[in-house]
Each structure stands twice: as C-alpha cells, then as structure tokens.
Chains A and B, each alone.
Chain A
Amino acid sequence: MRLLRSSAAAGAAAVALAGAAAVAVVAVWRSGGAGVDVAWLPSWGVRLAFRLDGLGALYGLLATGIGVAVFAYATAYLPRHLEHDERPQAEGRRFHALMVLFMVAMVGLATAQDLLLLFLFWDLTAVASYLLIGFDRQHREARLSALMALLVTGVSAVLLLIGILILRAELGTTSIPALLELAQGGPAVTLAGALIAVGALAKSAQAPLHFWLPRAMAAPTPVSAYLHSAAMVAAGVFVLSRLHPLLATSPVLLDGLLVVGLVSMAVGGLLALGEDHLKRLLAYSTIAQYGYVVTMLGVGGAAGVAAACFYVLAHALAKSALFLTSGAVTEATGAKALSQAGGLARAMPALAVGSGLAAAGLAALPLTVGFFKDELFFKAAAERGPWLAVLAVASAALTFAYVTRFWTGIFLGPRRRPARALPGRLVLPVVVLGGLVLAGGVVVAPFAALSEDAAQVAAAAVAPVEAAYHLDLRAENVMALATYAAGLAVVAGRPRFSGALAGAIRLGRRVGPERAYIAGLAALNRMSNAIHDVEMRDLRTRVVAVLVPAGVLVGAGVAVTPFEGAYLVGSFTRSDLPLVVALAACALAALVVARLRRHLALALGLSGVGFSLAVAYELLGAPDVALVAVVIETLFMLLFVAVFALLPRAVLRRETRLAELGSRRIRDPIVGVVSGLLMLLVVWAALSRPTPTDTSAARQLDLAGQAHGKDVVTVILADFRGLDTMVEVTVVVVALLGVAALLRRGKLW
C-alpha cells in the first residue's frame, strides 16, 4: 500500500512538474525569450547554450502542456494497466520517471542552440522512448517494437551526427545561430543537410522509414499519446524547422522534403483508412499528418514554414486527445479495434464530445483550430502550383475520411460491448484537449501568435500566420469545401473499394521497407552466429582465428616490401654463444610443447619456454624484463596447475582428443609454422633496419635523471608512461572482480 502511494506520488509530481514547466515556458516566451550560455567544451568551441525562442517555445509548450494532460491521464491509466498485467504497482514510479525524462529531453532539444547539444538530447529521447515503448517488457511484441524504434531512429541518428560533423568541418562551428548565418549552400552543406534530414525524417516516421511507428503502439496508451503526437515524432520536424534556413540553401533538399512528405501523406492516409486496430489507425494518421508538415517545410518560404508551425500545434492537440480516447475506450470495453467498438456515445457522452471536437479539429471542420491548419496548408500549396493543390485536397479528404471512420466507428452505430464507468482522470484530459481545439477555432489569436513566433525563427524572416474566417469563395475555402465533399464520398464509397485497399496494403506489407528491416536484421544475426561458430568452437580455433587473418596481413606486407637488403645476417662472435644456447633451449622447449598432449605437461613446457627467454633477456642486457619474466612465469605455472584442478576431467579429456583429430593434425601445424615463419621474417626485417631517427630512447635516458630516477625502465613505467600503467593496473583489479564473479559469485573473499 505504501508503494502504491509512492507510485501515485510520483505520478502527481510528474503532473506538477509538467504544469510548472508549461507555465514557465509561456512566461518566458511572453517576456520575449531567455537563455543561458556557458562554456562547455572550450577546445571544441562547443558551448552549453540554450535559448527559449519562438520555435523552442512552440515545441517546449507542446512537450510540457500536452505532458500535463497525458501525465494526468497516466496517473489513472497506469495502476489499471499494471493490475491488468499482474505487475507490482511500484513499477509505476519507473514509468513516470521515464515520461519526465522524455519531457526534459524534449525541452532540452527544443531550446538547444548547439548542434552537438541538440544531438545529445536527440539520443536521450531515443533512449527514453526505447524504455517507454518496451515498458511492457514481459511481452515479446513490446520488446521487439522498442528495439525496432531504437534501431530505426538510432541508426538514422548516426547520419544526423555525421551531418553535424560535416557542417563543423565545413563551417568550423556547431553553434546553430552561427551556422545559419554562415551557411551559403554548396555541395558539403547540401550533403550535411541531406544526412540531417534523413535522420529527422526517420524520427518523424516518414516513408519509407515509417514502419516503426505503428509497431510502437505496443506501448501503454499514455506513451503512444505523448511520444507520437507531441514529442518523439515532433522532434524530427522540429530539427527540420530549426535548421530550415540551412536546408533552404539547397532547392534539391526542399524538393526532396516535398516528395517524402507527399508520399508519407498518401501512404499514411491509405493505411489509416484500411486499418482496424484503434491505435495503429492513429499511428498511420500521425505518419500522414507529419507528412503534411514535411510537405509544407518542403514548399518553404514564409507561408510554408508558418503553415508547418501552425499545423504541428493544431495536430498535436487533436491527435493526443484521440490517442487518449482510444485508451479510454479500450479500458472501458476491452475493444482494441474498430470492429469491436461502436455505439458508445450514450454510455460515455463526455468522452464522445471531447474526442468529437478533437476529431473535428483533425478533419479541419470550421470552428476548430484544425480548420486554420488546413487553410494555411491549402494556401501554401496553392501558391506552389495547381498540382500540389490537387494533391493537398486529396490527402485532406483521406484525413477527413479516416477521422470520420474512427469517431463514428467508436461512438455511433450498434453497441457491441458493455462499457464500464471510467474514472474522471481518463476522460477529463480528452475533454480539456478537445476544448482547446474548439477554443482555438473561436479565438485563434494566441495559437497564431505562438506559431508566428516559431515560424519567424524557422523561416529566418517575418512569417505571418493569417488565420481568420472569410466568407467568400477564395481558393482555400473552395479547397476546404472540395475536401469535405471528397471525404464524404470516400466514406460513402469505402465498402466498394475496401477489398482493393486491403489488397494494396497486403502487397505493401509483403514488399515494403519493414520486410527489408526484418530481413536485414535476420541476416545480421545469421552472420554473427556464423562468425561465432567458426571462431569460438574451442581455444585452438580461436587462436587460429587470430593467427590466420594476422598472417594474411603480415604476409601481404612481406610480399610488397622490397627484398633486397631487408634481411641482413650480422656477424657472430664468441661472446654471443651463451645467447645462442639460451635461444636454442627456448626453441627446443617450444618444439616439445607442440608435441605434448597432457595439460599439466603443457603448462610445464610453456614455462620452460618462458624461463629460457628470461635468460635470453638477461644476456641481452635487459635485467628488468628478465626479472619480471621469471616471477611471472613462476606465478603463471602455479596458477595454471591450480586452475587445472578446477576444470572437470571430462573437459580436459575432450580438449586433448580434439587436438588429435585428423583435420587438426594437419591444420594446426601448418597454421603454426606459417605464422611463425612470417613473424620471423617481420622481426628479421625490422632488426635489419635500425632506425637512427628514433631518439626517444636517448631522450628518456636523459630525462630519467631529471625525474630523480636511475632505473629508466621503472621511471618509464611509473612516470613517463604512467598513465598507461594506471589503466593497466585498473584492468588488473577488473580481472580480479571477474575471477571472483566466475568462481565465487562475486564475493571477493
């Protein structure tokens, strides 16, 4: 019970935080914006710069304002959701914390004034969305969907980073205001802009990288409502708006945006029209709606950008309300698809009215804020050309049709299932958001002012948002009327072409990009398994897997090196005799090791090699190395013997038998001899050409005295290369932890 309370407290805290943040955003925006700018990475010229300008205010207010509604909804939704899945209520705290993390990441993204900072928050949204989409981690579907969202948006985020780095290399800064001032076009800027745009479009679920969004509907409803209306997908078009002046230096980029937007509008609209599952229908609708925004950003100019900014605002209000509606309907009746729902208007009048207003907004009916979003869209499209005006009307008609289908399918018609009463917190956010949609249709000035300020930043020019009702036959009004007519025609004619639509959707599923994603992932998995099987079968195979590629590289190096003068045979004096004896002993021990089969004998033979080498070091005048070699060989031999006692006899016998296999008897000696010979050639060649230019040894000898040392090896280890030593000894402690974890479950003693 105490845990339940604290989980509820976390939810309340999240709502309060979002509310305070929303009020703060509005207050700062009204006072003309504010920012902080402190040094962060001076050697890279990166500053910790945030500024709440018009664009930041728009997206920040979406994240925090819709956050209030969604978080409040979640405080009622989540306890039921957890109970339904028989999970402890304490997990609610994690949920609320992640939602707040997402909100913080969005506000940071919206206000960041440096591209590296922006990238940081971008990835933070990806991480938070991964955890949120996969919140129901006991369901395989949720885990796979979360992974898909992370991979699609995360891999494309790498393209974004590459674009940022190209801009930095080309223009010498990552500060956004400086970049927008400096960017004059050119191939490098266009390439960077294209990479950034791909990353942003994947985040906004635009075709052909749209398939992760409907999958992400496996998340709990508040997550869908938040991430897929106001936050996650909005991040993509936000970055496009933020960098729009830079993208606008290249007409090709803008045309690309236009094409992607139009395709997404068509794909999303048609899929939404054919979809039965409530949340997936809305997801496809989101793809289409952000397609509008991308199209308008592609149209560009003050009109296009202003329309895009207003569209984002109006859409987020309406769409989040519809998502919350679908969750409430599922909660009340258990229906998850249109075919299971129906006739709920009488049972849930408040929900019906609230979501009806939101649906009217999305369908752009007059007296809602959505009417103006389509007016601005039509105006921008008509200015571009009649062909775009036709396409705009066509996709707006699709929107009208699927929104009508969604709302009437749930609330009208015959009642299919009984409905339980819902707590107020599941209904009130929908009503409030729907009320806002209506209020925006009556008093549009605040909405227009906010998006006008945003558009002014995004267009880098004055971008007036002229939202008003005109009772005349101007182009926009005619287009709106055509939309309603065409939309009604689609709704009425849907039974006639639903078969063809379903066929097209099936075809798209069979050859679409999601198929490529799944096939690609499966192929990567297979490749990884194949490499693992080849490399990791047993110790000898692993050694071979290292030696053979290394041998190929070394052999290639030897082959292209001129042979003449590379292999000098020096003179031989009597004083070299002890060294030769030591090396001969070493070689003999090595040959013996190759013949040995029993593990204990192997360990002894190997330390014989080591001790002979230590003698050779001593004779070569390296007492420090010799000392370490002797003590380490002793220690290793003893530890080897001790570890053999730990290994089951069967494992040791199996390993011994493997070594006697027919194929191994041929492979192992060949690999060993060839790699040994190549190593001999390399060492021989290196020793034949002493490099007189390398004076570091002499300098270190000289410096050792100044560093108060006489033994230069110790001084190098503890001082000159002390940082290396430090990292190495840290690894030693990590190795100890590893031994403890393997042998004693992590207990060090």
Chain B
Amino acid sequence: MTTVLTRMVARLLLVPVLMVAAAILIKGYVDVGDGFAAGVIAALGVLLQYLAFGRAAVERVLPVRHAPKLAIGGLLVALAVAFIPVLGGQAPLQHAPAPGAEVIHLGTLELLTAVAFDAGVFALVLGMVVATIHLIASTVEERGEQP
C-alpha cells in the first residue's frame, strides 16, 4: 500500500496537472504542445490517482467512468471537423475561418476548426488512456493480484 506522503502528493498534484494539460491544449497553436500531449498529461494525472488510492477509491470520487464516452466523443468531434466540409463540397479538414481571415480571440485562444480538431484528439487520448488503465486495473483485481 502507498504511504501517506504519496497519497498527499497525488491529491495535491491532480488539479495542477489538469491545469497544465488544459494550458498545453489551449496554447497548442501558439506554443509547444498539442492535444495529444495534453491528453497524455491529463491521463498521467489520473493514473497517479489510481497508483496512490487504488481503483475503487478513484472511481468513486472522480467521474472516470465516462472515459469511453469521452474517447468516442473525441473521435466523433475529430471526424466531424474533418468531414463536415466534405458535405459542402470542400476538401476534408477545410479551415474555417479561411486562411488570412479574421479570427475570434478569447485571450490567447483562437477559435478555429483546427483547434476543435485538436480538442477532439485531446478528449480521445485522455479517454482512451483512462479506459485502458481501468480495464487493466479491474482485470488485475479480478485475478487477485496486486499491481
């Protein structure tokens, strides 16, 4: 079992890790990082909770059971961004707003279809990793062995 110190660090780190992931996602278009890296970082934050508290406790406290839905939803967002332009006769992943046109800013966040695509990738990666962790953890538990 983990020590008090590990559990405290894990609990303290969760929110900052998720913040960092969000920052990397939002700043992806202007700075280092993208949806994929952000998704893995957020998933690592969740994985840390699994390591510190065990599967049952984490799944009681955090809404991780939505992970498969998150992964599939992220895939659907990415597919929608890619193929909705095709319905209008444009190329897949066609930009909106168009290159050079004016973009709506929310702070440093620029509202672009490509950013939505990246957000889809983020959701997909986060959901996929958390779901995989859950699958492995519950299988290990079932077989009566400690990870």
Interface string of A609-633 (1 = CB under 8 A from B): 0000000000000011001100110
CA distance A730 to B36 in the complex (A): 13
Interchain residue pairs with CB less than 8 A apart (21): A628-B36, A635-B47, A635-B129, A642-B133, A708-B110, A711-B34, A714-B34, A715-B29, A718-B35, A718-B121, A725-B78, A725-B121, A726-B78, A726-B82, A726-B117, A729-B124, A736-B68, A739-B131, A739-B132, A739-B136, A748-B135
Residue A569 CB within 8 A of the other chain: no
How far apart are the CA atoms of A393 and B75 in the complex, in Å? 70
In chain A, what residue has the closest Cβ to B111?
A: A708
Which residue of B37, B99, B129, B139 contacts A707 across the interface (Cβ within 8 Å)? B99
Cβ of B135: which chain A residues have Cβ within 8 Å of it? 739-740, 743-744, 748
Closest-by-CB residue of B relative to A725 is B121
Shortest A635–chain B CB gap in Å is 6
Q: A624-B32, A631-B41, A749-B134 are in contact. Are A645 and B114 (CB under 8 A)?
A: no
Contacts A639-B136, A719-B93, A725-B121; A711 near B47 (Cβ below 8 A) = no
B54 lies within 8 A of chain A by Cβ:
no
Q: Are B68's CB and A748's CB within 8 A? A: yes
Q: Which residues of B contact A719 (CB under 8 A)?
A: 93, 95, 114, 117
Q: A627, B71: Cβ atoms under 8 Å?
A: no
Taking a contact as CB atoms under 8 Å apart, the answer to whether A730 and B134 are in contact is no
Q: Does B52 contact A (CB under 8 A)?
A: no
Contact A706 B146 (CB under 8 A): no
Residues of B within 8 A of A740 (CB): 131, 135
**Interface residues, chain A, with chain B CB atoms under 8 Å away:** 623-624, 627-628, 631-632, 634-635, 638-639, 641-643, 645-646, 703, 706-711, 713-715, 717-719, 722-723, 725-726, 729-730, 732-733, 735-736, 739-740, 743-744, 748-749
Asked whether B147 is an interface residue with its Cβ less than 8 Å from the other chain, the reply is: yes
User: Do B30 and A642 have beta carbons less than 8 Å apart?
Assistant: no
Q: Across the two chains, which residue of chain B brings its CB closest to A713?
A: B34
Q: In whole Å, how far is B81's beta carbon from the nearest beta carbon of chain A? A: 8
In the A-B complex, the 6 residue pairs with the closest CB atoms: A748-B68, A714-B34, A722-B93, A706-B99, A631-B40, A710-B30
Q: Is the CB of A641 within 8 A of B147?
A: yes
B140 at the interface (CB under 8 A from A): yes
**Whose C-beta in chain B lies nearest to the C-beta of A730?**
B75
Instruction: Please report the C-alpha to C-alpha distance between residue A713 and residue B110 in the assembled complex, in whole angstroms.
Output: 17
Q: Which residues in A have their C-beta under 8 angstroms from that of B28?
A: 711, 714, 718
- Is B112 in contact with chain A by the CB < 8 A criterion? yes
Given contact pairs A641-B147, A710-B29, A714-B118, A635 touches B43 in the complex (Cβ within 8 A): yes
In the assembled complex, B79 has its CB within 8 A of some CB on chain A: yes
Prevailing SS type, chain A contact patch: helix
* Complex Cα spacing A631 to B32, Å: 13
B99-A717 in contact (CB<8A): no
CA distance A709 to B110 in the complex (A): 9
Task: Using known A-B contacts A643-B136, A729-B78, determine if residue A717 contacts B36 with beta carbons closer than 8 Å.
Answer: yes
User: Smallest CB-CB separation from B51: which chain A residue?
Assistant: A638
Given A706-B99, A722-B82, A733:B136 Cβ within 8 A: no
A710 to chain B: which residues have CB within 8 Å?
A: 29-31
Known contacts A635-B129, A708-B112, A744-B138, A733 near B32 by CB under 8 Å? no
Smallest distance from the beta carbon of A501 to chain B beta carbons, Å? 66
Contacts of A631 in B (CB 8 A): 37, 40-41, 44
A632 vs chain B, min Cβ distance (A): 6
Q: Are A714 and B33 in contact (CB under 8 A)?
A: yes
The answer to whether B34 and A624 touch across the interface, beta carbons within 8 angstroms, is yes
Docked Cα-Cα span, A646 to B145, in Å, equals 8
Query: Least Cβ distance of A625 to chain B in Å?
Result: 10
Residues of A with C-beta under 8 A to B72: 733
Enumerate B12-35 residues with CB–CB distance to A below 8 Å.
Answer: 24, 28-35
Let me know if B57 is at the binding interface, CB within 8 A.
Answer: no
Mark B residues whose CB is within 8 Å of A. Answer: 24, 28-37, 40-41, 43-44, 47, 51, 65, 67-68, 71-72, 74-75, 78-79, 82, 92-93, 95, 97, 99-100, 103, 110, 112, 114-115, 117-118, 120-121, 124-125, 128-129, 131-140, 143, 145-147
Taking CB as reference atom, which chain B residue is nearest A634? B44
| Measured CA separation A718–B40 after assembly (Å) | 16
Q: Are the CB atoms of A726 and B79 closer together than 8 Å?
A: yes
Chain B residues closer than 8 Å to A645, beta-carbon distance: 140, 145-147
Given contacts A708-B112, A711-B29, contact A639 B139 (CB under 8 A): no
Q: Which residues from A are CB-within-8-Å of B35?
A: 718
Instruction: Give Cα A722–Cα B29 distance, bound, in whole angstroms.
Output: 14
In the complex, besides A714-B118, A722-B82, A722-B92, 6 extra interface pairs with C-beta distance below 8 angstroms are A624-B32, A631-B40, A638-B44, A642-B137, A708-B103, A736-B131
The CA-CA distance from A709 to B115 in the complex, in Å, is: 10
With the chains together, A516 CA to B28 CA distance in Å?
62
Given known A635-B44, A736-B68, contact A623–B32 (CB-CB < 8 A):
yes
With known contacts A643-B136, A733-B124, A743-B139, A707–B114 Cβ distance under 8 A:
yes
B75 near A729: Cβ-Cβ < 8 Å? yes
A706 in contact with B100 given A639-B136, A645-B147, A733-B72 (CB within 8 Å): yes
Q: How far is the CB of A647 from chain B (nearest CB, A)?
A: 10
Least Cβ–Cβ distance between B95 and chain A, in angstroms? 7
Closest-by-CB residue of B relative to A707 is: B99
User: Chain B contacts of A638 at CB under 8 A?
Assistant: 44, 47, 51
Please tell me if the beta carbons of A711 and B71 are within 8 angstroms of each other in the complex: no
Chain B proximity of A700: nearest CB distance (Å): 13
CA distance in complex: A743, B32 (Å): 36
Question: B136 touching A627 by the CB < 8 A rule?
Answer: no
Given contacts A719-B114, A729-B121, A739-B132, contact A624 B33 (CB under 8 A): yes
Q: Given the complex, which residues of B lie within 8 Å of A632, measured CB to CB?
A: 40
How distant is the Cα of A338 from the Cα of B33 in the complex, in angstroms? 80
Given contacts A646-B140, A722-B93, A639 and B132 within 8 Å (CB-CB): yes
- The residue in chain B whose Cβ has the minimal distance to the Cβ of A703 is B99
Instruction: Give the residue of A642, A706, A718, A723 whose beta carbon is less than 8 angstroms from that of B118.
Output: A718
Q: Which residue of B lies closest to A630 (CB)?
A: B37
What separation, in Å, do the CA atoms of A707 and B139 have in the docked complex?
45
If A627-B33, A707-B99 touch, whether A749 touches B65 (CB-CB below 8 Å) is yes
From A635, A708, A725, residue with most partner B Cβ within 10 Å: A708
| B12 CB → nearest A CB, Å | 18
* Interchain CA distance A713-B37 in the complex, whole Å: 12
Provide the residues of chain A in CB contact with B124, threshold 8 Å. Answer: 729, 732-733
* Docked pose: A555 CA to B110 CA in angstroms: 49
Q: Do residues A733 and B29 form an inter-chain contact, with CB atoms below 8 A?
A: no
| Residue in chain B with minimal CB distance to A627 | B37
Shortest Cβ distance from B128 into A: residue = A736
Complex CA gap A709/B129 in Å reads 28
CB A116 to nearest CB in B, in angstroms, measures 24
For residue B31, which residues in chain A have a CB less than 8 angstroms away from its CB? 710-711
Chain B residues with CB under 8 Å of A718's CB are: 28-29, 34-35, 114-115, 117-118, 121
Measured between beta carbons, the chain A residues less than 8 angstroms from B95 are: 707, 719
Least distance between A442 CB and chain B CB atoms (Å): 62
- A623 to B72 alpha-carbon distance, docked (Å): 29
Closest Cβ of chain B: how far from A31's Cβ, in Å? 39
Contacts of B51 in A (CB 8 A): 638
Please report the C-alpha to C-alpha distance between residue A714 and residue B112 in the assembled complex, in whole angstroms: 13
Contact A646 B136 (CB under 8 A): yes
Q: Which residues of A contact B65 (CB under 8 A)?
A: 749
Q: How far is the CA of A627 from the CA of B38 in the complex (A)?
A: 10
Complex Cα spacing A574 to B133, Å:
45
In the complex, what residues of B have CB within 8 A of residue A725's CB? 78, 117, 121
